[in-house]
Structure 1
Amino acid sequence: MKKAPAPSMITKAEKLHPYQLLVYLGMIGSSIVFVFLAVAFLLTFIQDNTLKTHHLPWPFWLSTALLLSGNIWVRRLNYYLKIDASLLLKKALWSIFLVGIVFVGFQVWGWIELDRQDLLFTGIPSGSYLYVLTGIHIVHLLGAVIFVLMMIYEVHQVVVNPIKELVFRNNPYVGMRIKLFVLYWYFVEIVWLVLLLLFALAF
């Protein structure tokens, strides 16, 4: 008896929810952009060792520790949703929101420190790539922050309205969106860790 042919990639994609397809395609597209820019940055700092005469601003290291600390709350989102702990879910989302905002603040601080070292956006190519890579990463993180804000509003409505809580609890798409957010957060986190490694090698 012949086995049924394995479903094609197109068939699998058709079975995905639009949210899932959007997030997966977005991460694939973003990965290509980051790889292209990272390789370009790698080639520029290999060709000239100008960055070796400078140091990687310490706010970038602080922002890394902060981003990793966000995992404390990110990992709990699915659990809080599962046990219907709306208040705890709301607090975790607020914590993640604050982590995201402060992370962006540290990144801007890092840019200020780069400027103090005369590493300008319009200066040497490798310095320009520092701003471009960190800037694009900030845009991706802000996307996550905006989603968190939307979820905070949604969960707040659930907390103040018991009827909405029942609908929220039984809505399968809520769990899917939380899982997609967790996946996206880890994606943004991994991208930053790779970028930080490249920056550390360059300085």
Structure 2
Amino acid sequence: MMAISKQEARPVLSVNKWKFITWLFIITILMLFASQTSAYLVRRAEGNWVEFALPAVFYWSTGVLLISSVLMHLSVRAAKKDEFSKLRLMISGTFILGMIFLVMQYMGWQELQVAGVYLKGNPSGSFLYILTGLHAFHLISGLFVLVFSLLAAFKLHINAKNLVQIEVCATYWHFLDILWIYLFVFLLYFR
């Protein structure tokens, strides 16, 4: 008799499409900022570079963004426990702090203009506005993601059995926070 061997069925590995799209978007943003910070360094090495202090409000806005990241983390934890009111509160708090961050960025740009640093003029100022402006643009997109998550939380579409939307939102928001910290440290070090 011939022994027939059965091949074991291998589990199919799959990734949620929304998580995959989010990571592709994050990689694209990383490439954008890598190219911009590289261009910054190359242009800075050429000379004719005006050094100036970053506005104090940028320090405070960094703290605001870090606190927003903590609230975003707490929203995911609340969703895992089906604590719906806490989930909505934490997402709302994250959104409010994101808006405060944008206002603080605007205040920083105004402070730069008072100091004589403009978008047009010396490349050092131009790069600062471009880098912080690009980040602000992406943060606005993060605020839209937060709004959709908040609406889903009110409709109870986010819960312990359906976490994809809040996980995608948290991944993107934490990425934006980490990106800001990178930019802030980069701008502090390479003035």
Q: The TM-score by the shorter chain falls in which range?
A: 0.7 to 0.9
Give the aligned partner of residue 69 of structure 2: 71
Q: Secondary structure at the match of 1:120?
A: coil
Give the aligned partner of residue 127 of structure 2: 129
User: Matched residues in 1 for 2:70 and 2:19: separation?
Assistant: 24
Q: In the superposition, relative to structure 1, how do residues 20 and 193 fare at CA in structure 2: closer, same or farther (>3 Å)?
A: same
Q: In the superposition, relative to structure 1, how do residues 121 and 156 fare at CA in structure 2: closer, same or farther (>3 Å)?
A: same
Q: More helix per residue: 1 or 2?
A: 1
Deviation at 1:187, TM superposition (A): 1.1
Q: In the superposition, relative to structure 1, how do residues 189 and 168 fare at CA in structure 2: closer, same or farther (>3 Å)?
A: closer
Deviation at 1:76, TM superposition (A): 1.1
> Over the residues paired in the alignment, what is the CA RMSD in angstroms?
2.0
User: Is 1:28 aligned to residue 27 of structure 2?
Assistant: yes
Q: Which stretches in structure 2 are left out of the alignment for 5+ residues?
A: 1-11
Higher Rg: 2
Task: Encode CA deviations 1:53-104: one digit per residue, 9 max, x unaligned.
Answer: x211111111101111113211212221111111010000110000100001
Identity of aligned residues (%): 24
Aligned pairs, how many?
181
Give the aligned partner of residue 101 of structure 1: 99
Is this contact kept in 1: 2:80–2:160, CA < 8 A? no
Task: Encode CA deviations 1:103-158: one digit per residue, 9 max, x unaligned.
Answer: 01111111111111111111111211111111111111111111111122222233
User: Matched residues in 1 for 2:177 and 2:158: separation?
Assistant: 28
Q: In the superposition, relative to structure 1, how do residues 177 and 47 fare at CA in structure 2: closer, same or farther (>3 Å)?
A: same
Q: In the superposition, relative to structure 1, how do residues 125 and 184 fare at CA in structure 2: closer, same or farther (>3 Å)?
A: same
Q: In the superposition, relative to structure 1, how do residues 201 and 170 fare at CA in structure 2: closer, same or farther (>3 Å)?
A: closer
Q: In the superposition, relative to structure 1, how do residues 187 and 151 fare at CA in structure 2: closer, same or farther (>3 Å)?
A: same
User: Matched residues in 2 for 1:28 and 1:64: separation?
Assistant: 22
Give the aligned partner of residue 9 of structure 2: none
Quick one: which amino acid aligns to residue 116 of structure 1?
Answer: V
Give the aligned partner of residue 16 of structure 1: 15
User: Matched residues in 2 for 1:86 and 1:197: separation?
Assistant: 36
User: Matched residues in 2 for 1:18 and 1:72: separation?
Assistant: 26
Following TM superposition, the consecutive aligned residue runs of length 4 or more in structure 1 with deviations greater than 4 angstroms are: none
Deviation at 1:49, TM superposition (A): 6.2
Q: Which stretches in structure 1 are left out of the alignment for 5+ residues?
A: 1-10, 159-166
Give the aligned partner of residue 111 of structure 1: 109
Is this contact kept in 2: 1:45–1:51, CA < 8 A? no
Correspondent of 2:151 among 142, 150, 153: 153
